[in-house]
Amino acid sequence: MSKNSRYLTSVLSITLGMRLFSMSIIIPFLSVYALNLKGGAPWLTGYALGIFGLTQAVLQIPFGVLSDRIGYKKVMVAGLLMLIAGLLTAAYAPSVYWLIFARALQGSGAIVTVGYSWISSVASDETRDKKLTRLGAVLGTFTMLSYTIGPLIHIFLKVDRMFIFSAGLMVICLFWVLFGTKQVDPNMRRIHHQKRKGKTVFNRKTFMRGLLLTVNNLLMMAFFFILPILLEGKLETRQMWMILTPAILVAMAFLTLFSRLASKSKAKPVMLFLYLLEGIGFLLLYGQSFPGIIAGTVLLMTGSFSVSTIVPMLLNRDIDNEQRGTGNGIVVSLQYFGSFLGAAVTGSLWSISPDIAFLFTGIFSVLGVVLVLTFPQKKD
């Protein structure tokens, strides 16, 4: 791994991690903020929460295709600018409708695909798995920090000021990417004028991998909807870090192990085990005892973190650099579609019956297992 490659990986990993941190520190307080805006209502609050995932899902493929054509850096910078604009719009939103628009604008900065593709394109076949595993660990670290530091920041800053704080962090990342990296132009311009003989990324295998992430993100968004409700009367929102931080630390500790096993032709049994962990995690949450909630959170975090790292790792083994943005775009779009469904459907079902909402999570945990069982083993 060259020095330049390590530096670029660090820049992109921290940028994606900071993006995740900037969004996650606000999420626990967004519902109450939206309800207190002009026109605030529970169903509109749900849209404000979910529309970020929807616009991410819609735009990941276009961003990926565009990065294959004009280069990763240009698209990354454009996405960061859109995210910053969305954060600032949210800070000054006079009504819930403006907040919904702002959240959609935040989601339109669909740079996850670009980041994964850029990192994968500069890595050799021997180092790619390791780099993507490190990226997963960095994202896990920033997630942990967001749930630990977010409540502390909220003590000093109201939600509108937290949006401005997050925008400031992203401006720093924007300048780092803008002036600290070199433009990498994929070969799509040349290929655009000639018939490509290689495999297309629009195939069953890519779609199946995307569905694995759809299910994974759906389950995690369902978890984040359910957890605060189960903790009512047990912990305050600002104390959620006491459960989430240890769970994330455990998840990160096992991430390298599961990624290493998956890279040694054991992806199928590892993925089966991880989805079983998530299913058992929801069973423990269903019992609603405090120890069960803690154990369930650990299992869900462990399963989700590893799945969200292993699937892109396997995907990028089979994609040529010229199509890397497109391939990652397909998978990440399906991933964010799962985020939207997880929040929207679980919330709707919970209003009917918590039992039905838990049944919904159980069905999709089983679906994750079924998808892994139907996936071909030999190429992974």
Question: Residue 167's domain is classified under what CATH number?
Answer: 1.20.1250.20
Residue 195 lies in a domain: no
pLDDT tens digits, one per residue of 76-135: 999 999 999 999 999 999 999 999 999 999 988 888 888 877 887 777 666 776 777 777
Residue 185 lies in a domain: no
Question: Which secondary-structure segment (H or E) carries 6?
Answer: helix 3-24
Structurally, the chain folds into a number of domains equal to 1
Residue 227 lies in a domain: yes
Q: Is 126 exposed, middle or buried (0-12, 13-18, 19+ CB in 10 A)?
A: exposed
pLDDT band for position 198 (cuts 50, 70, 90): very low
**What's the distance, CA 146 to chain centroid?**
14
pLDDT tens digits, one per residue of 330-343: 777 888 889 888 87
The stretch 124-151 carries a mean pLDDT of: 75
- CB neighbours (10 Å) of residue 2? 10
Angle at 133 between CA 130 and CA 136, to 5 degrees: 155
Structural domain range at position 60: 3-180+201-373
Residue 127 lies in a domain: yes
Residue with token string 């940028």: 15
134 vs 210: CA distance, rounded Å: 21
Residue 123 lies in a domain: yes
b/e sequence 303-339, b meaning 16+ C-beta within 10 Å: bbbbbbbbbbbbbbeebebbbbbbbbbbbbbbbbbbb
Residue with token string 């605060």: 228
Report the candidate in 375, 356, 5 with the shortest Cα–Cα distance to residue 184.
Answer: 5
- 100 touches 47 (CB < 8 A): yes
pLDDT at 84: 96
Residue 190 lies in a domain: no
Residue 380 lies in a domain: no
Residue 192 lies in a domain: no
